[in-house]
Structure 1
Amino acid sequence: MIKSFITNPKKLFLMDALGAMISAVLLGIVLVKLEDVFGIPRKTLYFLAGLPILFTVYDLICLTKDKSNVGPFLKVIGIVNIVYCCISIGTTVYHFKTITIFGYLYIIIEVIITFSLALFEYKIGSKVSKRNSEKQN
């Protein structure tokens, strides 16, 4: 599976964009309508939904890049996704008094998925960058 992503790393940008769009819809629409169920304040949900929208734009821009040069861009989105996980955890801690068990479950599941993808993106980005530098030598 790793070889598949090394030979076609742009698939990761598509996966990331799809995941980011799903997160944006869930946070910015679904959870907002169910604010009482999840206990995450509306402003926080909109803030958290806005970040994945930016990530989607980044991913779509990266799809226009030459396949041989995407390693650094994958590493960037991996790091940005880890930062997003930290922000999500931070907002959860900040609102710990209002968040319900369902809110905690949502954040935990999203962080696990996003963090796993981020590590994978960074790993593939490093391998693609290394492979490309070896080809140039």
Structure 2
Amino acid sequence: MSYILSSLVPFFRKNPKLLFLVDGIGALLTLMFLSIVLPAIRQFIGIPLKALHFLAVIAIVLLLYSTACYFLNPLKYRFFVKIIAFANLTYFFITVGTVIFYYDQMTLWGFFYFGLEALIILALVVLELLIGSDRRTL
């Protein structure tokens, strides 16, 4: 995984605006899963609807922030990338906390979905922190 991340860093260093687009698309996909797909199959996931809706609200906030940054085109990308990195990290911890809280109700499919989501979020956070901390980023 580190090879993939290290190959993405030069690209996003030159095009930091696209990192907001990637983040926004990820937040949109998460929102769609949390608000449409998972509620429809929640008996196979094991997390109550209220918890899915709570996570979906956070995904909406992340989607709005990333989309705004992409379209507003801020001059100081590094600062705004760091904000979304820490927001994503917070979402990661909230998601892990939700999984722990509902551990006894979760199914294997639920662990698989949220585990995969957690890995993707962590990879994105690492990428965002690398870009946000790199002085060579535009």
TM-score, L = length of structure 1: 0.90
Q: How does 1:1-137 map to 2 (within 5 A)?
A: 1-63=8-70, 64-66=72-74, 68-127=75-134, 130-131=135-136
What is the CA–CA distance in structure 2 between the aligned matches of 1:37 and 1:61, rounded to whole Å? 35
Residues 28-62 of structure 1: CA deviation (Å, up to 9, x unaligned)? 11000101010110000011111111111001111
Name the CA distance, whole Å, in 2 between partners of 1:118 and 1:87. 14
Q: Give the deviation of 1:131 after TM superposition.
A: 3.1
Structure 1 residue runs of 5 or longer lacking an equivalent are: none
Greater relative contact order (Cα 8 A, min sep 6): structure 1 or 2? 2
| Structure-1 separation of matches of 2:24 and 2:120 | 14
| C-alpha distance in 1 between matches for 2:10 and 2:109 | 37
Q: Which runs of 5+ in 2 are unaligned?
A: 1-7
TM-score by length of 2: 0.89
CA contact (8 A) 1:75 1:123 kept: no
Q: Cα deviations across residues 2-51 of structure 1 (Å, max 9, x unaligned)?
A: 22211110100000000000000001110001010101100000111111
Report the alpha carbon displacement of residue 69 of structure 1 after superposing the two structures with TM: 0.7
CA distance in 1, matches of 2:136, 2:46: 46
Structure with greater Cα Rg:
1
Measured in 1, the distance between the counterparts of 2:123 and 2:86 equals 12
Structure 1: which 4+ aligned runs deviate by more than 2 Å? none
Contact 2:9 2:130 in 1 (8 A): no
The percent of aligned pairs where both chains have the same amino acid is 34
**Residue 127 of structure 2 aligns to which amino acid in structure 1?**
F
Q: How many residue pairs are counted as aligned between the two chains?
A: 130
SS in 1 for 2:136: helix
Q: What CA distance in whole angstroms lies between the structure 2 residues aligned with 1:34 and 1:111?
A: 20
